[in-house]
Chains A and B, each alone.
Chain A
């Protein structure tokens, strides 16, 4: 068991290396000169040349890649061009709001989506099922910022029961204030997540309900409700948990937009600010940071399978 966990943890290293190479290649091979972009429209040729040297862009591509990988291996994601702060330090300053927003969203989304999907599967074809499915198709169709503005319009501007935007840390302002400011962003951000998880829950529960062992449970005289909880949901758990992991990618994209709309000073804003300032190392470092988070979460999810299914043994 322990050797397996170790093996799996180690196996993420090559994936991370591949991601690092990919990020490097995609950004470096994209047409356009980062140095010129950073220097801006009014820069002189010397300015651009200075930045090129500073970023090491004059080295051959393989050398640059090697430096980049070595730098990463020592835990350094890069240094911001303008503030001269390390990317790791910047992340440390901005991570709290993003982390709390994401956690609240995941918890809320799972709590809503799993029961919704399960009921839809159980009553498949009924009105309830159709409403859930319509909601989930809708959830995939509305961009998160449109949703956010609709929520702001109704709940904050019209009914005036929630603040329009902003972030209040629970450590400085108390839990209640924090939550009041969290409601709208979490609602906006979780819709697509709910849609995704509810769909997968419905599909996998429906599939399990077709299984022979569910028929066996019926043949025992078990009630439908217990069959759903006892037999169906446990067997459907692995695909549901998996989709939560895959959904992290969606969540990260959503966080950037949501933080922008609600003016939350988190990592998403950090990315956008870096893009506006053309702070190349910060962009690259943050993309990599988010990718690593995705890989780590999916590693944890992989390892959690054994909790749900005894057939998966290490």
Chain B
């Protein structure tokens, strides 16, 4: 075919995506990244700036309990007369903090572990068996149990959500390392007497960056969902903090009466996670078409 016949042409097109100069522009040219990013930016902006313009999310008003959405209360009020709009805006901060923290911690731990497992042969089997074991434990149940024992704080929630995400990152990094270490340019570096730490940092680590960014976005989205589920089940962040999960959990009892208490935070959450996932898909398509596609599961 055309591609097979002109390896110079195709190889160059392929590689130019990976070299530094045009990467950012290439990523922004992707429609999904652009629109998803715009939506995400809007949600982030609301979460950061919004709380300065709303009433306190904990301010109770017994006179106006369970009110339907109106011009005074855009998203209505809950059973204590608190303004749902204000609570949703504040909840955005919590969700984003959880999502971003989990993504960063999980990728950092996973990256180091994955590189070690992928490059140091005798450590590979034991590390991966532990990861297999960790993957077998249902994430939400483990998180609920850990939070139940340690007490519900923002930190325990983040830790409990992070642990089950680590094995996925480890597997991904390890598979990249295993592929890359067979590349002739890595072998050439070994033959040139380059020491192990430099082999890892110079020649192998850069190959994990792109799939890692993609994976981190997916983890961020998944962590926000898990946080909301934990909150909803009453096993998440302390109930006095207005996280989206907590708002919806409180709305459960009155669902038949006031469905908006679940509906608005639900939509806010879905939109944010959707934006994150769309950006993730777009990044995957531009940064790393091969590897991440297989590893999404």
Contact = CB atoms under 8 A, between A and B. Distances in A.
A175 interface: no
Contact of A291 (B130, B138, B294): B138
Contacts of A153: 259
Given A18-B132, A32-B151, A27 B274 contact: no
Interface residues of B, number: 50
Interface string B264-286: 00100110011011100100000
A141 B248 contact: no
B137 interface: yes
B52 interface: no
A143 B225 contact: yes
A10 to B, nearest CB: 15
Nearest to A256: B140
A280 B294 CA distance: 38
A272 B229 CA distance: 12
B137 A137 contact: no
Contacts of A75: none
A247 interface: yes
B70 interface: no
Contact of B148 (A141, A150, A246, A283): A283
Contact of B139 (A14, A253, A298): A253
Contacts of A278: 148
A143 B269 contact: yes
A286 B141 contact: yes
B146 A26 contact: yes
Residue among B140, B221, B281 having the largest count of chain A Cβ atoms under 10 Å: B140
A107 B193 CA distance: 56
A140 interface: yes
Nearest to A142: B270
Interface in A279-309: 280, 283-284, 286-287, 290-292, 294-295, 298
A150 B260 CA distance: 11
B297 A247 contact: yes
A19 B132 CA distance: 9
Interface in B141-195: 141-142, 144-146, 148-151, 156, 163
A165 to B, nearest CB: 11
Nearest to B151: A32
A286 B262 CA distance: 29
Contact of A141 (B234, B262, B270, B296): B270
Contacts of B149: 27, 30, 32, 34, 37, 280
B76 to A, nearest CB: 15
B132 A275 contact: no
B142 A287 contact: yes
Interface in A190-248: 196, 199-200, 203, 239, 242-243, 246-247
Contacts of B233: 256-257, 260, 272
Nearest to B256: A157
Given A30-B150, A146-B269, A287-B145, A295 B229 contact: no
Contacts of A22: 130, 133-134, 137
Contacts of B74: none
A43 to B, nearest CB: 16
B264 to A, nearest CB: 11
B241 interface: no
B85 interface: no
A116 B138 CA distance: 27
A287 to B, nearest CB: 5
B297 A287 contact: no
Contact of B137 (A23, A152, A243): A23
B232 interface: yes
B69 to A, nearest CB: 15
Given A196-B297, A253-B229, A140 B150 contact: no
B141 A253 contact: yes
Contacts of B142: 23, 26, 287
B96 to A, nearest CB: 15
Given A31-B150, A291-B136, 14 more contacts: A15-B132, A18-B129, A137-B278, A138-B274, A143-B270, A144-B229, A145-B248, A149-B255, A200-B297, A242-B297, A252-B138, A278-B148, A286-B141, A291-B138
16 contacts: A18-B130, A19-B136, A22-B133, A32-B151, A137-B278, A138-B274, A140-B221, A141-B221, A143-B232, A143-B269, A152-B255, A200-B296, A246-B297, A253-B139, A272-B144, A283-B144
Interface of B: 129-130, 132-142, 144-146, 148-151, 156, 163, 221-222, 225, 228-229, 232-235, 248, 255-256, 259, 262-263, 266, 269-270, 273-274, 276-278, 281, 293-294, 296-297
- A-B interface, 10 closest residue pairs, ranked by CB to CB distance from nearest: A146-B266, A253-B140, A18-B133, A141-B274, A141-B273, A252-B138, A32-B150, A243-B297, A291-B136, A30-B150
